[in-house]
């Protein structure tokens, strides 16, 4: 394991060189991304100290189902962050990960982010495994009909009421997984399978505290993958890493854009 000095911002050159070798020699890279990847895009890490969720109590899924006021508050919060969501563009980190997929070295990316920035970086929808869903659109909880956020805004502003489905009257909610809502089964199965079959598993900007996704680095390592964790802060998963790169994610990953056709 490399020596990591917490107060040192620069990642040692030999660690970057080790990552370069791992990346180029890997046949099946799987990246697992979290909030730290998108902060450079202007999307706050809601869970971080001082982040939105440390100041506002999360709304539990059951409360959303049970209470008109909880549904209104959920939508108020969603529209409050809409400016940040719409302005956000993929970062250097997103572009590097997209290049691994485009180069044919990586089948898919697993993400805890709900901001759609992997898709915006050019990765096809079916190669983005979203374990916490997606907040850039909404769906009816009963019939799954899709709704665009933009189309819901007007009636919310006019009536102050949370949207209901035109088709079946069900509750309309952003396509995210709320606290207390079951994890999306198919996405979790695909994520687990990808972790187990990767030969290089790269955690990017996840604090690795939200289970079951936080267990993926352990699974990957157990199946023989090299595990690399890129994050500003230490994580509980660090003990499963062969290499820790601690610093600004964009600064680090900006060095690792693969050319298409770079397959060994």
Q: Where in the sequence numbering do the catalytic residues fall?
A: 132
Q: Choose between 2 and 170: whose C-beta lies nearer to Zn ion.
A: 170
Which of 157, 179, 188 minimizes the C-alpha distance to 65?
Answer: 179
- Residue 136 Cβ, how far from Zn ion at the closest point, in Å? 19
Task: Give SS3 for 216.
Answer: helix
Cβ distance to Zn ion smaller for residue 124 or 167: 167
Q: Which token pair is 261?
A: 């056709």
**Residues placed in the known binding site:** 140, 143, 165, 168
Q: Binding residues for Zn ion, per CB under 5 A?
A: 140, 142-143, 145, 165, 167-168, 170
Q: Which residues of 17-47 are buried (b: 16+ CB within 10 A; e: fewer)?
A: ebbeebbeebeebbbbbbbbbbbbbebebeb
Cβ distance to Zn ion smaller for residue 168 or 209: 168
| Least distance from Zn ion to the Cβ atom of residue 138, Å | 11
Question: CB 65 → Zn ion: shortest distance, Å?
Answer: 14
Q: What is the largest CA-CA distance in the chain?
A: 59
Joined together, the tokens standing for residue 194 give: 């990808």
Centre a 10 Å sphere on the Cβ of residue 244 and count the other Cβ atoms it contains: 21
């Amino acid at each position: 394991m490399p020596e990591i000095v917490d107060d040192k911002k620069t990642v040692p050159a030999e660690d970057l060189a080790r990552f370069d070798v791992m990346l180029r020699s890997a046949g099946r890279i799987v990246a697992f991304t979290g909030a730290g990847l998108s902060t450079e895009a202007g999307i706050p890490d809601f869970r971080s100290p001082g982040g939105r969720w440390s100041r506002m109590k999360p709304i539990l899924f059951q409360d959303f189902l049970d209470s008109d006021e909880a549904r209104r508050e959920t939508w108020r919060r969603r529209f409050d962050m809409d400016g940040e969501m719409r302005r956000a563009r993929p970062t250097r980190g997103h572009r590097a990960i997209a290049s691994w997929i485009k180069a044919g070295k990586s089948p898919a990316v697993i993400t805890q982010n709900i901001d759609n920035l992997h898709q915006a970086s050019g990765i096809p929808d079916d190669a983005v495994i979203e374990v916490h869903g997606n907040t850039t659109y909404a769906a009816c909880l009963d019939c799954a009909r899709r709704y665009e956020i933009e189309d819901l805004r007007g009636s919310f502003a006019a009536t102050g009421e949370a949207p209901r489905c035109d088709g079946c009257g069900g509750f309309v909610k952003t396509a995210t997984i709320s606290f207390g809502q079951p994890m999306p089964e198919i996405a979790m199965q695909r994520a687990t399978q990808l972790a187990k079959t990767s030969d290089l598993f790269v955690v990017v900007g996840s604090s690795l505290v939200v289970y079951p996704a936080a267990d993926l680095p352990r699974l990957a390592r157990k199946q023989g993958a090299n595990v690399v964790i890129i994050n500003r802060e230490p994580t509980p998963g660090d003990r499963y890493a062969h290499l820790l790169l601690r610093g600004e994610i964009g600064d680090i990953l900006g060095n690792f854009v693969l050319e298409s056709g770079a397959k060994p």
